[in-house]
Structure 1
């Protein structure tokens, strides 16, 4: 059965996620994450995928990104994951696939962007790994992080319909269960 074509809307933010094969860890230490971000930054610039939100967990990644071309995401993630897999497999003495299948992505319709960014950036808090976003170095929700090299607040606020003050207030409000479920299902289906 042929796979469904990925829906990419140029100039519109998309939620992207990809897990490790069999849900295995793809990052075992900070050096791994630094290497991943190096390649993500390099290839997102080369293939015109503007990253506006990011979170690296131990066994998966989340991105909110805006493509300039129909193949921006496929080229960015293909090259990033190929290079990172080479590095990781060499380091760990492994071979074969590191990532599980294709990455999931879906365009974010008006009104969902802020919720999706909040979902991505608060992922380590929701997973119970930390009590607040500033305790996780690998989310763009933490402004004291290495990710500020990849993502600037200016990039994020080009797309968010809230002021910085409104965003801070919204960011600290709790999620509604239906918001989280909508984001998860939509990303897997590839559409809202």
Structure 2
């Protein structure tokens, strides 16, 4: 087992951020903050590109439509970021926020709905984190990076009427804990 990296990480002055689910909430607030920081670069994503209109048009900001349930779309988003930022492309921070809550009677949920919940909240998180880690490890200057997998109380405690949401968030919590022990040994913390 790899030990957890305990060295402090210094966010570079020219940090590149990749944030999913930027249409509202915490990801929107983080995107607005990053966009206001001189020298920082932002890849902001949402399922609906028009929901990113609050962000200014800038060479330092790349707005992308992204459905994290589609492996090819995730791969394409990373390729688009590399193409946009060119040889200077590096990734310093991934904020994995795309997700939604499925609530209601457990027995009323369809097969499609339960799979979509896990595809978005769990497998989408995994796809983004593994792609980000690959980019971070291949960085020319090997400066590492940070990955924030946004979860919720629903990943540590369960309540009635949200069984599949809880399943997805418990999966994010367990996977993230395991993944962090191997990723951090290579300066991806």
TM-score greater than 0.5 by the shorter chain: no
| TM-score after normalising by structure 2 | 0.32
